[in-house]
Amino acid sequence: MDVAFLLRILPPLLEGLEITAAMTALALVGAALGGLVVVAGRRSRIAAVRAVTIAFVDVMRNTPIMAQIFILYFGVPEIGLYPDAFSCGVIALVLQNSAYAGEIYRAGIESVHRTQTEAALSLGMMPRTALFDIVLPQAVRRVLPVLGNQAVVILKDSSIASTISVAELTHSGKLLLDRSAAPYETFLMVALLYLLMAAIVLGAMKLLALRFPVRT
Amino acid sequence: MTLAALRYMGLGAGVTVMLSLAVILLSSLLGMGLALLRLYGGTPIAAAAAAYALIVRGVPLLVLLIGSYFCLPYLGIDLPIYTAAVLVMGCYFAAYMGEVFRGAIMAVPAMQWDAGRSVGFRRFQIFRTVILPQARRLCVAPFLNTALSVVKNTSLVSAIGGWELVTAGREVGERAGDLMPTYLGVALGYYLICFPLARLATVVERKSHA
């Protein structure tokens, strides 16, 4: 193990880390919002919307992100659109994780007891107000830890974008592994950087959970 | 897509299934070990097992696969690609399986231990005849979900040169010069493998709530 070498490979890896962080942040926001669309779709009054949403969740749950990234990056150009690799990665991450986030939200909403809605309605609240002011605040607090885990999944899955040559952390690591004869150092450094980012994401979620505790 | 291409991708799907089964088996065994160590291993060992789970779950599988692909030969270990892939994925998913089993065992009410003790059972007897059968029922749905995640993640083996469904699709598509239908076919292949697992998990979950 060569410590000087570890420091020397840090700058190129940090360049990759920036892209990983950008992808993760974009995908996180996209999936958090996409999850809302999914959960709204599943609760829709229109049967067709419900069916489409269920089918979407089903397909996303049962196909790997690798296949989605390849369809976007290699398949979509055949119909005349040319999304760049970075966008393909982000879109695939958002699609897949919207489905999961939607299911997480739904579980949260269902975990809030029915009597809460009934109580709100009996006080004369509109159903919408009951959902947004009574049910959702409780649901979101309950699912925060699960959402944190999903955020780490997004961070880790962003590494798959390296297979379509997005210059993110795993890709920079692979280039270094190809070029240098120091696989342990490079591997260790990449793994450490991911761990650090995962720790930051989980830590942020812990802080959020402390700020918004579950009240019983 | 021709019949030959379809058969070729079917072979790829077969490899994906075999890989998944091997990984599920290995990770279940290791995961059970991890869960037991964390629950009954004593403080230092439990802490080590917890640290292992935390570290593994913070690093992408792809990084571990690529890392082992480059590092193992330097250590003088020259494993066939599938063996290496199964080992790495087995150790990776052991962390997740460990959580599944630990969660299930902890979800059995502590009173069950007291009840076992009150009829004169030993600790191991209580675990084997009282706790484990109940935990087994509780862990089925999360186990299936983790198994589903294993199937999907075997696609990463294609990134280190393993031949499976994704690779088969790429070869067929590149030869035909038309990648969209084959990658859609690949996605469909995974869907066909995963859907029964997902369906089963939902049914089991619904049953356990009722």
Residue B128 and residue B143 in contact, taking contact as beta carbons nearer than 8 Å: no
pLDDT tens for A122-143 read 999 998 899 889 998 899 889 9
Distance CA A40, CA A50 (A): 9
pLDDT for residue A215 is more than 80: no
Task: Output the pLDDT for position B72.
Answer: 87
Place of tokens 């942040």: A25
ipTM for the whole complex? 0.90
Q: Do A157 and B155 touch (CB under 8 A)?
A: no
Give the HSE-up count for residue B69: Cα atoms under 13 Å, Cβ half-sphere: 21
Place of tokens 């398949």: A75
Q: Do A70 and B55 touch (CB under 8 A)?
A: no
Task: Output the pLDDT for position B210.
Answer: 57
How confident is residue A61, by pLDDT bands cut at 50, 70 and 90?
very high
B40 touches chain A (CB under 8 A): no
Nearest one of B105, B104, B106 to B139, comparing CA atoms: B104
B-interface mutation test, from A23, A56, A62, A177, most B Cβ less than 10 A away: A62
Least CB–CB distance from B67: residue in A63, A64, A187:
A187
How far, in whole angstroms, is CA A149 from its chain's centroid? 9
How confident is residue A209, by pLDDT bands cut at 50, 70 and 90?
confident
A-interface mutation test, from B20, B62, B153, B200, most A Cβ less than 10 A away: B62
pTM: 0.91
pLDDT tens for A70-124 read 999 998 888 888 899 999 999 999 999 999 999 999 999 998 988 999 999 999 9
Residue B100 and residue B142 in contact, taking contact as beta carbons nearer than 8 Å: yes
Distance CA B128, CA B105 (A): 11
Task: Output the pLDDT for position A60.
Answer: 95
Q: Which residue of A has its CA nearest to B177?
A: A78
Residue B135 and residue B107 in contact, taking contact as beta carbons nearer than 8 Å: yes
How far, in whole angstroms, is CA A129 from its chain's centroid? 28
A199 touches chain B (CB under 8 A): yes
A66 touches chain B (CB under 8 A): yes
> pLDDT tens, position by position, for chain B (210 residues)?
688 889 999 999 999 999 999 999 999 999 999 999 999 988 999 999 999 999 999 999 999 999 998 888 888 888 899 999 999 999 999 999 999 999 999 999 999 999 999 999 999 999 999 999 999 989 999 999 999 999 999 999 999 999 999 999 999 998 888 888 999 999 999 999 999 999 999 898 888 765
Residues of chain A contacting residue B89, judged by C-beta atoms under 8 Å apart: none
Distance of CA B121 to CAs A102, B29, B126, Å? 46, 26, 6
Give the single-character DSSP code of A162: G
Distance CA A76, CA A69 (A): 10
Residue A140 and residue A209 in contact, taking contact as beta carbons nearer than 8 Å: no
Task: Output the pLDDT for position A7.
Answer: 84
Burial class (CB in 10 A: 0-12, 13-18, 19+), B149: middle
DSSP string, B7-50: HHHHHHHHHHHHHHHHHHHHHHHHHHHHHHHHHHS-HHHHHHHH
A44 dihedral zone (left: phi>0; alpha: psi -120 to 50; beta): beta
Average pLDDT, chain A: 92
Distance CA B37, CA B19 (A): 27
For chain A positions 120-179, those within 8 Å of chain B (CB to CB) are 152, 155-160, 162-163, 170, 173-174, 177
Q: Do A152 and B58 touch (CB under 8 A)?
A: yes
Provide the number of CB pairs (under 8 Å) joining chain A to chain B.
Answer: 119
Distance of CA A183 to CAs A2, A55, B84, B88, B161, Å? 11, 43, 16, 16, 18
Residues of chain B contacting residue A186, judged by C-beta atoms under 8 Å apart: 70
B150 touches chain A (CB under 8 A): no
Long-range contacts of A15-18 (CB under 8 A, 24+ apart): A15/A167, A15/A172, A16/A167, A16/A168, A16/A169, A16/A170, A16/A171, A16/A172, A16/A173, A17/A168, A17/A169, A17/A172, A17/A193, A17/A197
Angstroms from A162 CA to nearest CA on chain B: 9
Residue B173 and residue B183 in contact, taking contact as beta carbons nearer than 8 Å: yes
Distance CA B104, CA B12 (A): 34
Task: Output the pLDDT for position A35.
Answer: 95
Q: Which residue of A has its CA nearest to B152?
A: A64
B148 touches chain A (CB under 8 A): yes
Give the single-character DSSP code of B130: I
Residues of chain A contacting residue B58, judged by C-beta atoms under 8 Å apart: 152, 156, 194-195, 198-199
A86 touches chain B (CB under 8 A): no
Task: Output the pLDDT for position A30.
Answer: 97
